[in-house]
Structure 1
Amino acid sequence: MRWVAMLVVALGLSGQALAATGSNVPEKRHTVDMNARDLIDKLGKADADAKAKIGQSAGYAAFTNGGMGILLPGGFGTGVVQKNGSDKKTYMRMFHSPSGWGSGIKTYSVVFVFDTQEGLDSFQARGYVLSQYAVDASKSAGKGEAEIMPGVWMYQLDAKGNLAPALTGQGVKFYLDQELN
């Protein structure tokens, strides 16, 4: 019976890694907004060109994850999409499918920059599932940034706020957060 209780707790923890904290929807939105603002500041310090690109873009999306689950491997996270020149925000979630047992806990952040309104609208409506293509594109560039589709740039920062050596986005799904929208 004791193992059942431990299993229930572990399953709950694995699904709530870095869920937006707060006791109600406005507090949870505020947490996601603050995390996104901090992430954009870190990206600007790590890559001045990225900061300029964000300022000239149609908009951006910023996500943070909480690493791997305890029993159900996979990373979970939250983020927000912001259209430049607008106060309207779209809250989203991310799920990183496991790359295998024992792969360790990886905490990282992702920023998408949308050169066009069409790219931004598409992401808000359908989200993304990243493939090996994005990972391969960043490896050829030698750092955690890549144009993952025409007019859509992805940047990945490590837990210290540095641009990652390469994207590790294979198997990551970004989708609407039904609770916060």
Structure 2
Amino acid sequence: MRASLLLFSLLFSVLSFYGCAKPQGNTPVSQRAYILQMRDNTLAELYSKKPYTKDLVEHAAGYGVFSNISTQLLVFGSGNGYGVITENGSGKTTYMKMAEGGVGLGVALTDFREVIIFNSPAVMRQFISKGWDFGVQGDAVLKSKKQGAAASGEIPFDSDIIIYQLTKQGIALRTNVGAEKYWINSDLNYY
């Protein structure tokens, strides 16, 4: 019975990972437009909740905004998403994908947005060119589209990077050790 439950958890996580979070649209042009709209809406929400962040974003080397859907059932968790990095100096955008995976105890199905502020141009370029891996998380979330609570917020890694998470909707009660990986979306970029 225990092996069946673990297998079901793994299968559930894998299926969720591949099917949930990708930008809407049938063409690269419509998908880019959808991602830019998500970026603008997410920044507007962040600025309304934490007005001081507008100044942080405007004076940074650049920023990334990502949409992610994450699931966990008992032991295994996974998620995936998409986003865009905007370089403030040039206005250049780089479209990216993201994925996460981990093990831990809990249950979760969350839809969240992540804003990454890059104060260092070198760190931003490294993030774009090499992707990034990190993670250890704990969540306590119960939120519908209109109401609920979420324990998430600012995650300062160092003076070069600040990350804000905004939970759109979902339920989570988990502790998890895992990683997030970011990489360039070759289908949506011009180079």
TM-score band by shorter chain is 0.7 to 0.9
TM-score, structure 1 length as denominator? 0.75
4+ long deviations beyond 3 Å: 10-14, 98-102
Q: How do 1:28-177 and structure 2 match up within 5 A?
A: 28-68=31-71, 73-100=77-104, 103-132=107-136, 144-159=153-168, 170-177=178-185
- CA contact under 8 A between 1:74 and 1:97: conserved in structure 2? yes
Q: CA deviation at 1:159?
A: 1.1
Unaligned 5+ segments in structure 1 are 1-9, 137-141, 161-167
Structure 2: how far apart are the matches of 1:81 and 1:12?
Answer: 27
Name the Cα RMSD after superposition.
2.9
Structure 2 Cα separation of the partners of residues 69 and 19 of structure 1: 18
The residue number in structure 2 matching 1:6 is none
User: Which residue pairs with 2:145 in the alignment?
Assistant: none
Higher normalized strand content (fraction of residues): 2
Percent sequence identity over matched residues? 22
Give unpaired runs (5+ residues) of structure 2: 1-12, 139-150, 170-175
Q: Whole-Å Cα distance in 1 between the matches of residues 35 and 177 of structure 2? A: 20
Q: Which string of whole-angstrom CA distances, capped at 9 and with x for unpartnered residues, describes residues 138-175 of structure 1?
A: xxxx9521221341111111116xxxxxxx89521111
Q: How many residues align?
A: 158
**In the alignment, what sits opposite 1:27?**
30
Within 2, Cα distance between the matches of 1:11 and 1:155?
Answer: 26
Instruction: From the superposition, tell whether residues 29 and 46 of structure 1 become closer, same or farther in structure 2 (CA, over 3 Å).
Output: same
Which is helix-richer, 1 or 2?
Answer: 1
Alignment match of 1:178 (pick from 169, 174, 186): 186
